[in-house]
Amino acid sequence: MQDSEYTFVFADLAGFTALTEAHGDEGGASVAIRFHDIARSALCGATLVKTLGDGVMVVCSGVEQGVRVAEGLLRGVSEQHHFPRVRIGVHAGRAVVRDGDYFGRAVNVTSRVMEAAKPGQVLCTEHIANVATSVGLARATPIGPVRMKNVVEPIVLFELSFGCPSQPLMFLDPVCRMQFDPGVHTVSLEYEGALLHFCSEACAEKFAREPETHLRAISPYSAPGTLVDDHHGG
């Protein structure tokens, strides 16, 4: 089949391996399935090409649809409690379709754009940013040129932010990386003068046994056990 132009959205859950280590295979599978359901509810007429464990690949007919899907994914995940944060990448380009799957440079670049995103962040390429801002779907903040694995030239990226309704801030568990509502019962532990918060006794006990291990592994984008805000532009 001849190649055509598509907009792709890739998304995955940040810290999913840590979550599975902390809560087991069943817990990880349950979270992944919930994420797939969130993705399906955010499609806006787009096509969910496939689920990739803790990730999804969506193909859209145009840029505006792709941006709406990204916003729906970000909003849907931000409304979840006891749930990881999401990383999202959006890019457009030509691709070849074979047996319902999509192949080509644009697909590969979209995956790399997602990998460059921080937890709770939507990144996109320049064309996506231009369209999103011109029609008022999002604000775009330049990130600058980013070198990506196996992509020859650096690619200029932008962060998309949306006027999402304000949501309660969440704690981030330093062990399983899930965000959770500070208004519900949580487990707290003081470490080197800081009060850290955990989603469960099990995660607090894991941290207490090997605190340095978890502090080394925690995402650099959020202080462990503190409040985090996924609602960019909210």
Number of H helices, E strands in the chain: 6, 13
Please enumerate, as own/partner, the contacts of 164-170 that have beta carbons within 8 Å and a separation of 24 or more.
164/71, 164/74, 164/75, 164/78, 164/231, 164/232, 164/233, 164/234, 165/234, 166/231, 166/234, 167/78, 167/79, 167/230, 167/231, 167/234, 169/227, 169/228, 169/229, 170/81, 170/227, 170/228, 170/229, 170/230
pLDDT digits (tens, 9 = 90+) for 155-194: 999 999 998 554 556 778 888 888 877 667 678 888 888 7
Q: pLDDT: is 210 or 111 the higher one?
A: 111
Q: Which of 28-32, 110-114, 161-165, 224-228 has the lowest mean pLDDT?
A: 224-228
Q: Is the pLDDT of residue 201 over 70?
A: yes
pLDDT score at 169: 65
Q: Note the CATH number of domain 4-161.
A: 3.30.70.1230
Length of the chain equals: 234
Residue 192 DSSP label? T
39: amino acid identity, one letter: A
Q: Is the pLDDT of residue 223 over 50?
A: no
pLDDT digits (tens, 9 = 90+) for 50-68: 998 899 999 999 999 999 9
pLDDT digits (tens, 9 = 90+) for 90-130: 999 999 999 999 999 999 999 999 999 998 999 999 999 99
Domain range annotation of the chain = 4-161, 170-228
The mean pLDDT value of the chain amounts to: 86
pLDDT score at 168: 55
pTM: 0.82
